[in-house]
């Protein structure tokens, strides 16, 4: 694949850190990588956004941000309140296609969940994936409640004829509770796709070099990693 869309089951589930891990794994394999953040919300001019964080963690990727809105709201709402033009799915698809012409892998990181509105016409990240004919990676929470939100996201993708690459847990704790341990086997069942990894809790605070050295061990070979899924609790701590 040359373009992959990264979405979450909601906000603050670890999309940026997972995006960085996938980028780091691809770089380690000798691939050129670009990360596209169509809309960054809740960050003011000059402040560090998600693209800068991916660069810090993953290393030398090409980072592109199309629009920035200061209030931490859905992109459509944030753009309207800021008096700025929203970013359309067509603009995002064009930017991704341009990056794909000169990079082996382009990761398009959405804002919030799959169906968060990009503009007042109701366009979403799902529309972007459709225009690009790109697979979608779901980043999910580890604990109670994640089965419902993950299944809803996967069902929304299927209903639109979109391909889901798999699920990655965005923050896996050192001491998982019963629900989390059960979710390791339940998530693939409800989503209908494989569990492709789990990023340790706190990975986003690691120094970049430490993150890059460990990133492949958190992901399965489908995402360029080395985890075989045989002993998930031990492998994912």
Q: How far apart are CA 167 and CA 117, in angstroms?
A: 22
CATH of residue 205's domain is 3.40.50.300
Q: What pLDDT was estimated at residue 230?
A: 55
Strand order from edge to edge, sheet including 62-69: 62-69, 33-41, 105-113, 3-8, 136-140, 164-172, 195-200
Rounded Cα–Cα distance for residues 89 and 114 (Å)? 13
- Number of structural domains the chain divides into: 1
Q: pLDDT at position 213, please?
A: 96
CA distance 113 to 39: 13
Residue 96 half-sphere exposure toward CB, CA atoms < 13 A: 29
Distance CA(19)–CA(223), nearest Å, equals 11
Residue 11 three-state SS: coil
- The series of mean pLDDT values per 10 residues for the chain, 237 residues long, is 93 96 98 97 89 97 96 96 96 97 97 95 97 98 97 98 97 94 94 96 96 96 87 41
Lookup result for tokens 């409800």: 190
Output the pTM of the full model. Answer: 0.94
**Host domain of residue 218:** 3-236
Active-site hit among 3, 5, 16, 37? 37
15 catalytic per annotation: no
Instruction: Mark out the alpha helices in the chain (DSSP H runs).
Output: 15-28, 50-58, 75-82, 89-100, 125-132, 146-159, 178-191, 208-215, 232-236
pLDDT value of position 1? 60
Cα-based distances in Å from 164 to 5, 137, 222: 9, 6, 12
């Amino acid at each position: 694949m040359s373009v992959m869309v990264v979405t979450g089951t909601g906000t603050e589930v670890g999309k940026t850190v997972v995006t960085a891990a996938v980028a780091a794994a691809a770089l380690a394999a000798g691939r050129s990588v670009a990360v596209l953040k169509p809309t960054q919300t809740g960050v003011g001019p000059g402040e560090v956004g998600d693209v800068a964080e991916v660069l810090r963690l993953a290393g030398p990727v090409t980072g592109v941000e199309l629009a920035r809105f200061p209030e931490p709201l859905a992109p459509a709402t944030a753009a309207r309140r800021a008096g700025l033009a929203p970013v359309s799915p067509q603009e995002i698809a064009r930017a991704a296609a341009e990056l794909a012409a000169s990079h082996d892998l382009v990761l398009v990181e959405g804002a919030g969940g799959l169906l968060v509105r990009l503009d007042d016409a109701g366009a979403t990240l799902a529309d972007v994936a459709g225009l690009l004919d790109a697979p979608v990676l779901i980043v999910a929470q580890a604990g109670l409640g994640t089965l419902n939100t993950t299944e809803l996201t996967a069902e929304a993708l299927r209903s639109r004829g979109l391909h889901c690459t798999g699920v990655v847990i965005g923050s896996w704790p050192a001491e998982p509770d019963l629900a989390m341990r059960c979710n390791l086997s339940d998530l693939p069942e409800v989503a209908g796709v494989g569990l492709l990894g789990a990023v340790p809790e706190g990975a986003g605070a690691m120094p970049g070099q430490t993150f890059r050295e460990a990133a492949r061990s958190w992901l399965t070979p489908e995402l360029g990693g080395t985890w075989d899924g045989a002993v998930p609790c031990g492998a994912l701590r």
